[in-house]
Structure 1
Amino acid sequence: MTWSYWRVPPFITSIFFILGVLTLYWVLYNWIVSVFHAHHIKVADDVINSWHGVLYMLVFVFSMQSLIIGQSDGWQFMNFQMIAMIFCAYFLNIHLPYYAFFPVVLIFMVFNQSLGYWESWGQAITMAVFFWTLNRSRHRYRNQKYAWVYYMGTGIGFGGLLWMWMKFKFSLPWSTYFQEWIYLTIFEALLYVYVTMLTNDSELKLRLAQFANHDALTKTQNYAAYSDEIDLLFADSHKNHLNLSMMMFDIDHFKHVNDTYGHLAGDRVLQQVAMITQTVIDENDDQVKFYRTGGEEFNVIFPGYDVESTASIVRQIFTAINHLDVKYEDQQIPISISVGVSGMVVADGGPADFYNRVDQNLYHSKRNGRMRITAN
């Protein structure tokens, strides 16, 4: 239709079709990830990417092939199928054990009515080796300067062999064979450029997000990250009647540390306090969240915890820091902290009410001798 009515060559429409299929993939993947994150479903993004990639490309390949089953031009979508496989094997880095190829290939050959063709068996074995080679190529050369050379070399070599099977099976003329092989090479190059651009853009956005949400000195999450997270956790806890508690602490007499030992010494103190706190959290529950929310002020959020349940972790952090002497140059700097802890209550109208009550407990500790915990 495109050639008849718009005078657009099929090769051009094929390029836009492939780019459209890949764009739809990324749109669906980002939507699924955002849904999982919004509902706090604990599934790694890499796992979502793998399952979504496999299912999406299987639907794509089988849907395309269903249009030409048993026809004399059943080779026409071969390039699309190979691009889908390259995308899964190289760019999504999906690993399949060798025994998983057999049921997939067998199902596809039954679906495609190809069991009786020896050329189809040769094609199936070649595709399996191609997939494995792409995995290996990514693993060994992905971060090298000339990774694209290994990628294109693998694709061109296996592409020529796979089209040779099609030539035998469908008695294609040499002109068609070389034309489709060249088309595949061009599609592979475009795929590499397109996905690399998307990946670089995603990595840049990730670095910018990390920079915006992390404290450069202590490497902990900052107040901006705290604000976003507490809004989500408060709403979720309120809606689903879940426990939510918070610990707030700051370093006693921190101004005196800066004035006495210097600001670089103060930075070292903040780094040591953050490192110890994060270590304690990691050893107990990686769902507990830690933030530097002010100069010497830190917050720890406990999703699913009531105040009593936080006691063990709070006490471990308190004890570890209060027994800490930070070494800076040839000096030992003694450190202590004051702590406030509270849990969300029904009367809290929003995160600010919750925060203020924890803050009041912290200041109760500071007004009553410091180096103590106030919890209610």
Structure 2
Amino acid sequence: MKIKYAINTPTFFQQVIYLGIIELFTFGYIAILYTDVESRAALFRDATHDKLTHAYNYDAFDVDFRSLFKDNILSDGKFTMMMFDIDHFKHINDTYGHLAGDKVLQTIVDVVQNVLADNDENIKLYRTGGEEFNIIFPHYQVQDTQVIVKKIFEAVNHTEVDVGQERIHITISVGVSEISKKDVSVNDFYSRVDKALYHSKRNGRKEITII
């Protein structure tokens, strides 16, 4: 006995068209979701990173710093902060122009990020001002940061940036301190690190001060 199959041509083509439409909608929906994820990631990067150097920005620093301070004060934990300024940065801008200054900033961030990547990727670098940067060392006592701090200091101080026919030698001044039980607020801790940095700048620059 032979079984014969009869295919209704119009119905067959309708089903093919419907399947094609469903596939288009499916791929379109996936594309929209993927684009939405990418857009959200881009918005997050823009909100938390400095556009010029791609280091974390002040807003990201403020959130992380306050959160870590609160967590460590409550748990009697530990963390250390390093603050550094580029020495004579205004002179660089005034002498070589702002594009040269931008190149110096980008170069320094690249150098510091390389040191951090080689040592501990949980340590974050933030650009918190024009030529001012902060580094947060979560779960570090101040003595435990010294190897990395010194590596950063030496790496930057051995860096030169070519600008046209000129070569700019870069140095930084550094202040470092650890959270203390006496710190009532984030301002107490921040001011102490800032005071350490100011001491380095006041005493000839290109120096590390630990308080």
Bin of the TM-score, shorter chain as denominator length: 0.7 to 0.9
TM-score (norm 1): 0.50
Q: Measure the CA separation in 1 of the matches of 2:208 and 2:19.
A: 67
Alpha-carbon shift at residue 184 of structure 1 (Å): 6.7
Match of 2:60 in 1: 225
Q: Measure the CA separation in 2 of the matches of 1:242 and 1:357.
A: 18
Greater helix share, structure number: 1
Match of 2:200 in 1: 365
Following TM superposition, the consecutive aligned residue runs of length 4 or more in structure 1 with deviations greater than 3 angstroms are 178-191
- Is residue 175–residue 208 contact of structure 2 (8 Å, CA) maintained in 1? yes
Q: Secondary structure at the match of 2:134?
A: strand
Alpha-carbon shift at residue 339 of structure 1 (Å): 0.3
Unaligned 5+ runs, structure 2:
1-6
Q: Measure the CA separation in 1 of the matches of 2:49 and 2:152.
A: 21
Unaligned 5+ runs, structure 1:
1-173
Q: Secondary structure at the match of 1:294?
A: coil
Q: Measure the CA separation in 2 of the matches of 1:346 and 1:187.
A: 63
Q: List aligned pairs for 1:181-200, cutoff 5 A.
A: 188-200=23-35
Please point out which of 157, 171, 176 is paired with 1:322.
Answer: 157
- Is residue 76–residue 181 contact of structure 2 (8 Å, CA) maintained in 1? no
1:275 aligns with 2:122: no
Would the alpha carbon gap of residues 351 and 183 (structure 1) be closer, same or farther in structure 2, given more than 3 Å must change? farther
Which residue identity is paired with 1:290?
Answer: L
Q: List aligned pairs for 1:1-376, cutoff 5 A.
A: 188-376=23-211
Q: Deviations over 1:115-164 (max 9, x none)?
A: xxxxxxxxxxxxxxxxxxxxxxxxxxxxxxxxxxxxxxxxxxxxxxxxxx
Q: Deviations over 1:161-182 (max 9, x none)?
A: xxxxxxxxxxxxx99xx89998
Q: Deviations over 1:183-223 (max 9, x none)?
A: 77665444333332222122112112211221121111111
Equivalent residue pairs, number:
201
Q: Measure the CA separation in 1 of the matches of 2:131 and 2:204.
A: 18
Q: Measure the CA separation in 2 of the matches of 1:188 and 1:346.
A: 62
Q: Deviations over 1:224-255 (max 9, x none)?
A: 11112112222222233321100000011111
RMSD of aligned alpha carbons: 2.2
Q: Measure the CA separation in 2 of the matches of 1:191 and 1:347.
A: 59
Would the alpha carbon gap of residues 238 and 186 (structure 1) be closer, same or farther in structure 2, given more than 3 Å must change? farther
Q: Measure the CA separation in 2 of the matches of 1:235 and 1:212.
A: 23
Q: Secondary structure at the match of 1:211?
A: helix
Would the alpha carbon gap of residues 196 and 258 (structure 1) be closer, same or farther in structure 2, given more than 3 Å must change? same
Q: Measure the CA separation in 1 of the matches of 2:154 and 2:34.
A: 44
TM-score (norm 2): 0.86
Which residue identity is paired with 1:226?
Answer: F
Larger Rg: 1
Q: Measure the CA separation in 1 of the matches of 2:124 and 2:99.
A: 27
Tell me the percent identity.
50
Greater strand share, structure number: 2
Which residue identity is paired with 1:314?
Answer: V
Q: Secondary structure at the match of 2:101?
A: helix
